[in-house]
Amino acid sequence: MAHAANIESLLIGEIGLLSGGLGSSAEQSGGGYLSAYTDFGPLGSASFVSQGSTDGAILMGTAQGPGDFSAGFLWQGSTAYATTLNGAPSGSIAHGTMSLDLSGFTGEWNGISFSASPDSGTLATAVSHIGNGVYFYTADWTHLVTASDDVPALYYGITFGLHLEGIAVTNLAAPVPEAETYAMMLAGLGLVGLVAHRRRTRT
């Protein structure tokens, strides 16, 4: 591809935590994704299961609120959500490389808004071209909570390790298929995702 293709949406097949460190992740039957904090310091443990291919899509150029692109998870009696309320995301793919601006990625829980954007140098992405401007993607990053995040001091020093994967649709894609078509594509790419997950686990 000679020119960069602008990403229009990131359909979510999995959303969760990176394996290792505070987090532990594993694929679940039915296409869901289990993630658990094995040790969250003073906050105890937490876990959630994403909704697999029934999750929505992160829309480029749009700030999305709680529940707009992924089902929340219950943590200590309150529902936590991923959002992009701190700033609309953007991205492109060129020469087999995906660039993303996720500086507005945010966690919302119990009335607290946590920045969950990638810290400098931590965002790692990979793409595999499916065809017609559509790609399978993965994105992994970490974020250290500090006083600059404007949250209570109790949360300082916690590092989030986050993971996304699914289908990236660019402006070069053919006319948008029905949602069921993308669900079938995600299911068909399950093996690719499993290989990628095992590769992450080994590294």
State the DSSP string of 25-39.
Answer: EEE-GGG-EEEEES-
Least confident span in 29-33, 78-82, 113-117, 171-175: 29-33
pLDDT at 90: 98
| Total domains present in the chain | 1
> Is the pTM above the cut of 0.95?
no
What is the CA 47 to chain-centroid distance, rounded?
Answer: 15
Distance CA 45, CA 39 (A): 6
**Residue 46: is its pLDDT beyond 60?**
no
Distance CA 38, CA 96 (A): 35
pLDDT tens-digit map of 193-203:
544 444 454 44
| Closest by Cα among 62, 66, 64, 70 to 12 | 70
Which two tokens mark 158? 């916690």
The mean pLDDT value of the chain amounts to: 74
**Are 103 and 88 a contacting pair, CB within 8 Å?**
no
Domain that holds residue 72: 5-202
Share of the chain above pLDDT 70, in %: 62
Split at pLDDT 50, 70, 90, the class of 67 is confident
